[in-house]
Amino acid sequence: MSVLKLVILFTCLLHSLIEAEVIYNGSSTANDDWWKHTVFYQIYPRSFKDSDGDGLGDLNGIISKLQHLVDAGITATWLSPIFKSPGVDAGYDISDFRDIDEKFGTMNDLDRLINVAHELGIKVILDFVPNHTSDQHLWFQLSKNKTKGYEDYFIWKKGYNSTAPWHKTPPNNWMSRFGSSAWEYVAERDEYYFHQYTTAQPDLNFRNPKVVQEMKNVLTVWLDKGVDGFRIDAVRAFFEHPDFKDEPLADDYENYKPYEYNYLKHIYTTDQPENIEMIYQWREVVDNYQKQNGGETRVLMTEAYSGINIIMQHYGNGTVEGAHFPFNFFVITETRYDSTANDIISVIKKWFQNLPSGHVANWVLGNHDRDRVATRLGVENADGYNMLVALLPGIAVTYYGEEIGMENGAVTWEEGQDPKACTGPKEDYLRTTRDFERTPFQWDSTVNAGFSTANKTWLPVSSQYKTNNLELQSKDGVKSHFHVYQALLKLRKEDTFVFGNLNIEALDTYVLAFTRELVGNDTYAFIFNKGNYSTTVSLSPFKSVTENVTVVLSSSNSTRNAGDILPSGRLTMDAHEAIVVKPQ
């Protein structure tokens, strides 16, 4: 017997001893409500489709492209902010929470969007940005001149040493996320107001019950319009500590410049316990609305880059319910291009180990604040990652363009729009800007990728659009990211993916595999070689997998096709290949 055969024999013996770990036992109630097994598709309205040729996407543009969501198999979408805003921070600076910005259209356009979407079976979620208003908001104008009742709508403080005007400094060292002091002086009140973001975005004072009520009323306004829920922005930053003490230096402050946000440890301006309590109150608003008005569940999804313990509190505290789900960003923040299979498994396990019982998991790969998946994790791995998040138990979130494997666009400092980067020094732009992941959707090979007829679009269209666009990827017979995505969304409707359990195992350093299993239904195995070399693995850790397996779905660059039969004990996976198989 040759050494090679011995090695193979030994490896096989070893493998037959390993058993994949069950990390989720499945749930018989996983699909008893519409949102529990949905893919939420994030539309960034500025960049989706421009209907009026001004270079900026709009609501009528979205309406004209809703069929794309249907084609992809999407049944729920959330729109980044479309509210009235001077646009200092891409619509996250809102001057009227109850109105649509004319850049995007009118209230009638939104009504139509909601109606058309509902007719097509698509739920519509709006962004809710309660962390601050625009300084153009009437409330701020009234607060600035101390109109009765509005004095404390925002966070006003006397300067440090305010009795010595020749020596006036901000109330404390708190910093804006975009760098420098978070305090802006207003002579009219001889006071500073607090802003976690730009100076044009004063923070609301949620310790004022009137503000709390105002914001609940805002939710009701949109519920009356027929929206199906809200994505709540920047949950970390609603409340600040009432003592207004200086924040300490960050542990790694030496890596930052003193004017950079990460220079300080934000123990008094983020993750205050009152933030969570606020989510619970908003849940009460949407639940009561449903009780009174009927209809299906209006969902709340929350956005926060907090630690896992805090994130899990978003779901509720055992007595009261909170968000239907807080976005799971750990797949974004804790994976890198060269993560091993075990690194990724740890990220997946972390969520399940902490998930309070009766709640639903979710997986987010990308959004408007992070480099695109194809850029961050490799375009060659884009299908593998789309498959991973779509086939895990629970909810998946797709950022527009991920279904065609869009990569970051190229944007220069001169063309830049993101205030986080544009208000900072030019030399930091490439590192800090979020413009790259916000470039227009690549519909086809015509001018501006079919996004707009304008001479100049708000951000430049990626030069890749001629080789990567939806039209090319939709052609019959081509293997493409989009065709993989369509097949995936069909596949995940199978009972096994909805109710089945999850068994997971690293089969090689860069080969991750899991099965989804459900009594009386087909078992499916997903195998993803995210590494850059081909390797042979065995599915023997999965007891329900048979000697030969049939390919159900393969990544666009895989040489395997649906129907191919493969030996599960000696499965050669090409670099970056991802496949779904089922036992014979």
- 494 lines the binding site for ligand NAG (CB under 6 A): no
Exactly one of 233, 247, 321, 403 is catalytic; which is it?
233
- Least distance in angstroms from the C-beta of 294 to ligand NAG: 26
CA triplet 415, 416, 418: central angle to 5 degrees? Answer: 160
Separation of alpha carbons 79 and 127, rounded Å: 6
Contact 250, 263 (CB under 8 A): yes
- Tell me the β-bridge partners of 535: 573
The single-letter code of the amino acid at 45 is: P
Separation of alpha carbons 195 and 175, rounded Å: 8
Q: Which of residues 175-214 bind ligand NAG (CB under 6 A)?
A: 197, 201
* 214 assigned to active site: no
Separation of alpha carbons 496 and 519, rounded Å: 8
- 23 lines the binding site for ligand NAG (CB under 6 A): yes
Residue choice 165, 209, 307, 520 for contact with ligand NAG (CB under 6 A):
520
Instruction: Tell me the longest C-alpha to C-alpha distance in the chain.
Output: 92
Beta strands in 343-471 (DSSP E): 362-364, 395-399
Distance, first Cα to last Cα, the chain? 32
Residue 415 has which token pair?
């063309």
Query: How far is C-alpha 315 from the chain's CA centre?
Result: 17
Separation of alpha carbons 510 and 428, rounded Å: 33
- 89 lines the binding site for ligand NAG (CB under 6 A): yes
Q: How many CB atoms lie within 10 A of CB 272?
A: 19
Count of positions on this chain that bind ligand NAG (CB under 6 A): 42
Contacts with ligand NAG, 248-287, as mask; x by CB under 6 A: -----------------------------x--x-------
What SS3 state is found at 580? strand
Which of residues 161 and 544 has its CB atom nearest to ligand NAG in the complex?
161
Which of residues 318 and 477 has its CB atom nearest to ligand NAG in the complex?
318
- 532 lines the binding site for ligand NAG (CB under 6 A): yes
Residue choice 455, 477, 559, 563 for contact with ligand NAG (CB under 6 A):
455
Residue choice 8, 18, 116, 142 for contact with ligand NAG (CB under 6 A):
142
- 318 lines the binding site for ligand NAG (CB under 6 A): yes
Residue 297 has which token pair?
């569940």
- 246 lines the binding site for ligand NAG (CB under 6 A): no
Separation of alpha carbons 91 and 269, rounded Å: 23
Which of residues 114 and 503 has its CB atom nearest to ligand NAG in the complex?
503
- Least distance in angstroms from the C-beta of 381 to ligand NAG: 8
Residue choice 92, 104, 206, 400 for contact with ligand NAG (CB under 6 A):
92
Which of residues 209 and 520 has its CB atom nearest to ligand NAG in the complex?
520
- 67 lines the binding site for ligand NAG (CB under 6 A): no
- Least distance in angstroms from the C-beta of 183 to ligand NAG: 15
Separation of alpha carbons 500 and 22, rounded Å: 11
- Least distance in angstroms from the C-beta of 454 to ligand NAG: 6
> Residue 442, class by beta-carbon neighbours within 10 Å (0-12 exposed, 13-18 middle, 19+ buried)?
buried
- 161 lines the binding site for ligand NAG (CB under 6 A): yes
* 21 assigned to active site: no
Residue choice 6, 7, 12, 22 for contact with ligand NAG (CB under 6 A):
22
Phi and psi torsions of 513, nearest 5°? -140, 145
Is the dihedral angle over the CA atoms 242, 248, 250, 253 positive or is it negative?
positive
- 76 lines the binding site for ligand NAG (CB under 6 A): no
Which of residues 54 and 444 has its CB atom nearest to ligand NAG in the complex?
54
Q: What is the DSSP letter of 556?
A: T
Separation of alpha carbons 334 and 347, rounded Å: 7
Residue choice 16, 108, 141, 288 for contact with ligand NAG (CB under 6 A):
141
Contacts with ligand NAG, 358-397, as mask; x by CB under 6 A: -----------x---------xx-----------------
- Matching residue, tokens 């249907």: 70
- 432 lines the binding site for ligand NAG (CB under 6 A): no
Which of residues 201 and 469 has its CB atom nearest to ligand NAG in the complex?
201
Which of residues 115 and 141 has its CB atom nearest to ligand NAG in the complex?
141
Which of residues 189 and 265 has its CB atom nearest to ligand NAG in the complex?
189
- 317 lines the binding site for ligand NAG (CB under 6 A): yes
Q: How many CB atoms lie within 10 A of CB 190?
A: 13
Separation of alpha carbons 240 and 268, rounded Å: 6
Q: Which residues contact 346 (CB under 8 A, 6 or more apart)?
A: 334
In three-state form (DSSP H/G/I as H, E/B as E, the rest C), the secondary structure along 302-344 is ECCCCCHHHHHHHCECCCCECCCEECCCHHHHCCCCCCCHHHH
- 307 lines the binding site for ligand NAG (CB under 6 A): no
Exactly one of 101, 191, 228, 303 is catalytic; which is it?
303
- 164 lines the binding site for ligand NAG (CB under 6 A): yes
Catalytic sites, residue numbers: 233, 303
Footprint of ligand NAG on this chain (CB under 6 A)? 22-25, 89, 92-93, 131, 141-142, 145, 147, 161, 164, 167, 169, 197, 201, 233-234, 277, 280, 303, 317-320, 338, 369, 379-380, 455, 495, 499, 518, 520-521, 532, 547-548, 557, 576
